[in-house]
């Protein structure tokens, strides 16, 4: 039988894109005469997509929300191909190569818009590994709604598989779809690891192929202890 599909989140899971997102946010703030935000603050806003990011930036900076649409447009003009400061997490290329060589179909399900998603995958030479890519604007809803994750698995020709991510958005999407979730602990989550429903968690991508093999029975994702 074919090995189980594996779908990945992107920002905070495969890539550390916070420096590029931070640079784009601050470029827009600077252009509008607004005090700049530090990297840790912007990193804490990442995960829910561009609209949520800017809702948080606007609130943090005390900006009149009437400017929201123009701010997002200015951000997207910079963000579309912002890859200079983004880095793959250690061990990602090797883990992806091992999973692909073993026969696992691979996909992406991210709240990052599709254009910047494809740009960063191209930048790192990873696009060929992912026949199914669902971005934050591919559907009318984003994670934690399970619909984007369901669409990513459907793009791989299946209704289930293993999901790998780093955040609350990812954990709850997997739980809603009832698929095993593997939590990368070095990304952008806010909650303690024990508070998130996951089959297993890891901090080193060298462990991922083994975890995928053990989670590939496709049983429901574990729930945190009460």
End-to-end alpha carbon distance in the chain: 37
Class of CATH domain 18-79: mainly alpha
Query: Is the pTM above the cut of 0.75?
Result: yes
For the chain, residues classed under CATH 3.40.50.1000 are 6-16+87-215
Which one-letter DSSP state was computed for residue 221? P
The count of other CB atoms within 10 Å of the CB of residue 147 is: 18
Residue 146 has pLDDT above 90, yes or no: yes
How would residue 183 be classed by pLDDT, with cut points 50, 70 and 90? Answer: very high
Task: Give the Cα separation of 87 and 148 in Å (integer).
Answer: 25
Instruction: State the pLDDT at residue 216.
Output: 78
**Is there a catalytic annotation at residue 9?**
yes
Fold exhibited by the domain 6-16+87-215 = Rossmann fold (3.40.50)
Q: What is the 3-state secondary structure (H, E, C) of 4-16?
A: CCEEECCECCCEE
Token reading at 151: 């669409």
Q: Strands 87-88, 15-16: parallel, antiparallel or unpaired by DSSP?
A: antiparallel
The radius of gyration of the chain from alpha carbons, rounded to an integer in Å, stands at 17
In the chain, what percentage of residues exceed pLDDT 90? 93
Which of 9, 16, 20, 170 is catalytic? The answer is 9
For the stretch 78-91, pLDDT in tens is 999 899 999 999 99
Instruction: State the pLDDT at residue 218.
Output: 43
Query: What 3-state DSSP class applies to 73?
Result: helix
């Amino acid at each position: 039988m074919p090995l189980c599909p594996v779908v990945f989140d992107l920002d905070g899971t495969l890539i550390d894109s916070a420096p590029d997102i931070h640079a784009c946010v601050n470029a827009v703030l600077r252009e509008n005469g607004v005090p700049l935000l530090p990297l840790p603050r912007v990193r804490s806003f990442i995960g829910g997509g561009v609209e949520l990011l800017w809702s948080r930036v606007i609130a943090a900076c005390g900006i009149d929300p009437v400017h929201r649409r123009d701010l997002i447009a200015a951000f997207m003009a910079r963000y579309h191909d912002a890859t200079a400061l983004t880095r793959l997490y250690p061990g990602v290329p090797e883990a992806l190569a091992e999973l692909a060589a073993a026969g696992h179909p691979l996909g992406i399900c991210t709240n990052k818009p599709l254009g910047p998603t494809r740009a960063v995958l191209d930048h790192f030479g990873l696009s060929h590994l992912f026949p199914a890519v669902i971005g934050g604007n591919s559907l009318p809803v984003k994670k934690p709604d399970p619909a984007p994750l369901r669409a990513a698995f459907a793009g791989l020709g299946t209704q289930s598989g293993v999901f790998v991510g780093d955040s609350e958005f990812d954990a709850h999407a997997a739980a809603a779809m009832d698929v095993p979730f593997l939590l990368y602990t070095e990304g952008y989550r806010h909650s303690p690891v024990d508070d998130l429903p996951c089959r297993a968690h890891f901090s080193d991508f060298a462990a991922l192929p083994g975890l995928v093999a053990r989670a590939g029975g496709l049983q429901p994702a574990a729930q945190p202890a009460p």
